[in-house]
Structure 1
Amino acid sequence: DVALVVVSRWRRGVPWWRGGVDHTSHRLVQMGLSHRRAVIALYVVTAVLGLLATAVAYVVTRQLAWVLALSLGAVALLLIYLLEHLWPGAQPGAWRVNLRVAVIGGGAELLPVLEACVTLGRHVSVLLTPAGKNALGWRDIDSERLQQLAVRLSEAPSAAQLLMQSARPLGSALRDQCEVLNSALRMRGRLLANQLAVGAAGPILTASADAMQALQETDLIVIAGDLHENVLATLSLPEVARELRRSKRPRVLVHANPPAALALLKAAGVADVVTHAVAPAQLDGLWYSVTDVADSAQVAQALHVIWVECTKVRGTPQPLAGWALG
């Protein structure tokens, strides 16, 4: 496994000392085995090698031991070759699996995660909610951040960036800004703004029909970035929280500090919407580890592994908060 990872990362120009999801067990899952079958396969290989080692030590003659050792070395090299060249991660566009991804996020930390989602999916929906003035410290996505999101969703990011620099102000209402960007740019997804409705007690926030449809039809739901910007405002919508709780899709939190993020979600009453988490490798916990959550390639790999594992398991993914928060 060490030889495989070192050779593979050297070929791909990735530092060999970084954590990642390219070890043998990860590759077996990504190549189609369920998590259970991948573990069983590794157990079987380990048992066979243990028996052969015992035979070499106590039964086989020295000459036959050399033949056996050289044969096993050749088999190991063949397995390394096959695992490297058959592994989806070694192929161009490896993580593009045509998923529909729904993203709820905020802050600059959202940008690389959105890039990872665009790598994975054929259609990425970003759910946005105006927070307005509130005493909880929640913030709106501002126009600059909105444009950054649109650029990363665009099929031609460089051209979109130039257009953003020369464009006039988009307007004040979040929904209007999203509509302008959706119509002006050719994007691999949409910016979906929830809306203010007029109720008996005054204006109230409601989830838009487009946002609810995106959550219902998605293959993967990602929550990422600064929770105070957009995330908590979106999750506080009863329709959104209800749809997330009953969704059978993985709901993944990508965050530099998942325990703190889950505690914040718990305080808002929505910690149970998260089923998986991606976090830096130095944090102990039931997370999918990456070296840096700002590395879009690593995040894409981790999200791909989560999605593949969930498609192999029947039933609804269970909330992560019960384990993480006790």
Structure 2
Amino acid sequence: MISVSRVSKTYGSGAAAVRALDDVSLSVSRGEIFGVVGQSGAGKSTLIRTINSLERPDSGSVLVDGREMTTLSGAELRAARHNIGMIFQHFNLLSSRTVQANVELSLEITGAGRPARRARALEILELVGLHGKAQAYPAQLSGGQKQRVGIARALASSPSVLLSDEATSALDPETTRQILDLIRELSKDLGLTVLLITHEMDVVKRICDSAAVMSGGRILEQGPVDQLLTTEKSLLGQALFPLGEIPETSSAVVEITFNGVTTDRPVIAQLARKHGIDVGILGAAVETIHGRQTGRTRLELPGDELTVAGAVEDLRSQGLFVEVIK
């Protein structure tokens, strides 16, 4: 649905040049929710702006629903953008317009008649949970309600792609969860493909099917979230489950990753009894990812090489992902 291939973008020239995107490639499947994670300055916003051609890349290809966005202009580009909705961190609502009029704005641009605009605006406001707020003004709304208006406006033209630029960064944690759940629900009900950028790991945990880690204008890793959690030295896995520094120890150190199938089993106690070792817990983190308990535990395994190897094999035989740290 979205395919970015070897895209580069530089601002400025000479000594002042900033390479915002450096040979970036990623692919988002139809109906998928894909998160791009990175700190400020990583290039996330530039990336998302190249997808709807608010920025033109210096090189590379950007395909959205089969259309090469980098070659479009004029009426063709406007038509392609109607298939791409976008929501923003600071809502970008027009304060002088009512909620309904804000939602109708994109339809006005397409030339839709007033009755059709009104019907679609009321329909989409109902869908995002703002029934009864059509004649309110932005100043009368909470932050969460403003973002719901932003989502409704983005979906008014019935796009197949939704881009989210840090859409929950200005919201409190509970409102963030509500907005993320709404995006997940809309993606499922409307068949939307969602690409969101964020610096918040909670966003990835809650709704993302796949994710990419971005830094310095480059994609460092990408793939399905479940797959990245069971990939050795995964940056995303480490960020989702921060276990701190490894203490000085002469024993072997391993990390095990488990999901909902294994969280309720006494894995560590059984391991200690079976192999006769005093297992030490050096760190643990448990999160709910896609509604399923997932966690990572760092263990200290004393004993000789053969004993440790047997313990590791035992853990792996139970379907656990085991990474030997030292």
Compute the TM-score of the two structures, normalised by the length of structure 1: 0.31
Structure in which a larger fraction of residues adopt strand = 2
Which protein is richer in helix relative to its size? 1
